[in-house]
A and B are shown apart, each in its own frame.
Chain A
Amino acid sequence: MSLFGLLEVSGSALSAQSVRLNTISSNLANAESASGSPDGAYKALQPIFSSVMGSGFGGGPGASSLVKVQVDQVVESDRLPRQEYAPHHPLADEEGYVYYGNVNAVEEMANMISASRSYQNNVEVMNTSKQLLIQTLSLGR
């Protein structure tokens, strides 16, 4: 029964979206992490998704129409760290600068909303297919 495969696809999406939510929470948590050098400052993380095609993609009998999602890689943002002049900060370098992570809080919040909406969508798909499966299994009763 192919509705079982549907749960697998939505499950892969849930796991990918939760990785995305995890990177967002790491980014937001470390937005104010200070460092004494530009290299030591926190770098914002971002997952890159890619699709996993089922075998026999592209039609023909027996071709799978299931396309799962996976997190291909998690990349660090190459934006410059936020530099602040704070000579009395214990971590300040000899010129009096402290470096903070290159996290854009507004971007991260927008990203979080998008991730949570996608997560909800896939949960709905799972719920609907679960109901359909249960109804199919109780056929003729």
Chain B
Amino acid sequence: MSNWVQGVLSTHAQGLLTYSRRAEVLASNLANADTPGYKARDVDFRAALGAARDGAQVRTNPRHMAAGVGGSGAALLYRYPQQPSLDGNTVEAPIEQAAFADNAMRYQASLRFLDGSVKGLLLAIKGE
């Protein structure tokens, strides 16, 4: 039973953690838009998702070590700038803004799904 509950909730919970980590990285990029020499970074989302999924699958024994939660172990990659500035900064504000908005929408979508699952579970428990 608890495994089933975990199965329902875990996918989007992992998603939320990954998205919030990406939000951190993108906010750091935007915050450092005027810092000389700062290199913009981003999470490799495919790798992060893969790490989160494989981490959930591979752990067959409770004594196995837990994999990084929400793909926090996924490496941060540096962005290729289209127009690097003279001071060595590679943050391009419009690209970061778009990525941040996209990430926020995905976070909200995951949140909505998770909310639906929680409400469904509560309904099943109460049986009203």
Task: Please choose the segment from A32-40, A48-56, A86-94 that sits at the chain B interface, where 4 or more of its residues have CB less than 8 A away.
Answer: A48-56
- B93 and A2 within 8 A (CB): no
In the assembled complex, which residues on chain B have CB atoms less than 8 Å from the CB atom of A20? 34
Chain B 32-45, CB within 8 Å of chain A: the 1/0 string?
11111010010100
Q: Do A132 and B107 touch (CB < 8 A)?
A: yes
Cβ of A140 and Cβ of B24 under 8 Å apart? no
Number of interface residues of B (CB under 8 A): 38
Q: Provided the pairs A61-B73, A139-B114 are in contact, do residues A121 and B23 lie with their beta carbons within 8 angstroms?
A: no
A4-46 contacts to B (CB < 8 Å):
5-6, 9-10, 12-13, 16-17, 20
Asked if B34 and A125 sit within 8 Å, CB to CB, the answer is no
A60-B73 in contact (CB<8A)? yes
Leading 6 A-B pairs by shortest Cβ distance: A13-B31, A67-B28, A140-B118, A59-B75, A61-B68, A61-B73
Inter-chain contacts of A82 with B (CB < 8 A): none
Contact A69 to B93, CB < 8 A, known contacts A125-B27, A140-B115: no
- B residues near A121, Cβ cutoff 8 Å: 30, 33, 93, 97
With known contacts A122-B30, A125-B30, A136-B111, A51–B38 Cβ distance under 8 A = yes
9 contacts between A and B (CB under 8 A): A2-B20, A9-B24, A10-B31, A51-B32, A63-B76, A66-B28, A118-B33, A118-B93, A140-B119
The answer to whether B25 has its CB under 8 Å from any CB of chain A is yes
Name the residue of chain B whose CB is nearest to the CB of A14.
B31
- Which of A1, A67, A114, A124 lies in contact with B20, CB distance below 8 A? A1
Q: Closest A-chain residue to B23, C-beta based?
A: A6
Is A73 an interface position by the 8 A CB rule? no
Contacts of A10 on B, CB cut-off 8 Å?
27, 30-31
Within 8 A of B (CB), among A68-97: 68-69
- Write the nearest CB–CB distance from B70 to chain A, whole angstroms: 9
Interface contact B114-A67, CB-CB below 8 Å: no
